[in-house]
Amino acid sequence: WGPGRPGWHIECSAIASMVFGNQLDIHSGGIDLAFPHHENEIAQCEVFHQCEQWGNYFLHSGHLHAKGKEEKMSKSLKNYITIKAQSWLDP
């Protein structure tokens, strides 16, 4: 797609294009990915596939917070609880 350093957005655009082709029905992710990540994916894929609408719907969800904590639950923050582990905890 031209000279330059590949980044996170192009990686996702390339994988989505390889797996799903030139159009998506639904694309989803966390609200923190709406901008700039998903907007960059849209721009890259619409140019590459020469289409006006690459994804029909984008669904952005909120973050999960555990027990009133301020920060989001995520693997990268290492503050997550698995469903398997949760089943052993008292309600």
Residue ranges of domains in the chain: 8-86
Q: Which residue has the tokens 């590949």?
A: 6
Within the chain, which residues score under 50 in pLDDT?
A: none
Q: What is residue 24's predicted lDDT score, i.e. its pLDDT?
A: 96
The answer to whether the CB of 81 falls within 8 A of the CB of 73 is yes
Who's near 26: CB < 8 A, 6+ residues apart? 55, 56, 57, 58, 59
pTM, full prediction:
0.72
> What is the number of H-type helices and E-type strands within the chain?
3, 2
Q: What is residue 82's predicted lDDT score, i.e. its pLDDT?
A: 83
